Structure 1
């Protein structure tokens, strides 16, 4: 699994513990974490634990999470990656978040397009999925802009912040 991907304005680098300070600032923002399945972090140790858990999934070839670096400033502005990698069925689920001060600049689209390109053209995957809370209008607009198809609502399918939540399933096939 490649640990660095580049776009015109971004570098996606496999997340590492040394990124914890920057990621803590993002993951402690209530607006950023509103639709994430984590509570906003209150200390950097939580970010370190998250990165270590994600690294364990990477070591098991089950997932990979990238820190998103803004090329011009070399600052971490978010993260993205494959929440699950299913090589047997040639599919993955993606996830992403961007620091609030960088919202509305197309960075999430740029990062997701790179994830799609890598999944389809290098991993030879057939399907990419994204699960989004129905109230997360910005993420839904982004996925629709990238031609993901709405497949339906998974009712009370996951526990987030101690509550079972609905999730809308979106997908994009290699042939779409």
Structure 2
């Protein structure tokens, strides 16, 4: 399977750019994962130190993501707002034969309650359907994560049968 995206792929919404990391994103990547409010809930990121966010770690992620992109099964994206990285998104468990994929996303808590999560989810759905031609999209969410469940429901996802372990499965077809 060859990639459905070029390395310079960038999908733009009204306020966001959904794209792949570039080598020049190192400092912005460090900021994304180190500058945030204290952890807001159990699903939130824990801020990391600059020492933990090494250049070697970043380069290894870029290399891994590029290989996975080449295989066409997982796509990791960074999310940019006003020229700052504010989150991540991914398309995973892609099954072209069954036209299905799993989506995931997370935004730095400095940007919560701004409408950007809704905008990101809408853009991610559009990329999945119109770029990959996949119509059956699902997300796995902890049943206690009511904020994510509400966000997904507002984007047209419904709770489905066939939960996976302790994760609630929401689908959009």
Q: TM-score range by the shorter chain?
A: 0.7 to 0.9
Match for residue 154 of structure 1? 164
What SS does the corresponding residue of 2:134 show, helix, strand or coil? Answer: coil
Scaled by the length of structure 1, the TM-score of the pair is 0.77
Q: 1:129-168 to 2 correspondence within 5 Å? A: 129-152=138-161, 153-155=163-165, 166-168=166-168
Scaled by the length of structure 2, the TM-score of the pair is 0.79
How far apart, CA to CA, are the structure 1 residues paired with 2:41 and 2:23? 20
| Aligned-CA RMSD value | 2.5
Cα deviation, residue 151, structure 1: 1.3
| Structure 1 contact 32–98 (Cα < 8 Å) conserved | no
Q: Deviations over 1:75-118 (max 9, x none)?
A: 11111121232212211111111111111111121122112122
Cα deviation, residue 17, structure 1: 3.9
Match for residue 67 of structure 1? 78
Query: Size of the alignment, in residue pairs?
Result: 160
Q: Which segments of 5 or more consecutive residues in structure 1 lack a partner in the other structure?
A: 156-165
Give the number of the structure whose residues are more often strand, by fraction.
Answer: 1
Match of 2:108 among 78, 83, 99: 99
Q: Which segments of 5 or more consecutive residues in structure 2 lack a partner in the other structure?
A: none
How far apart, CA to CA, are the structure 2 residues paired with 1:76 and 1:110? 15
Cα deviation, residue 33, structure 1: 8.9
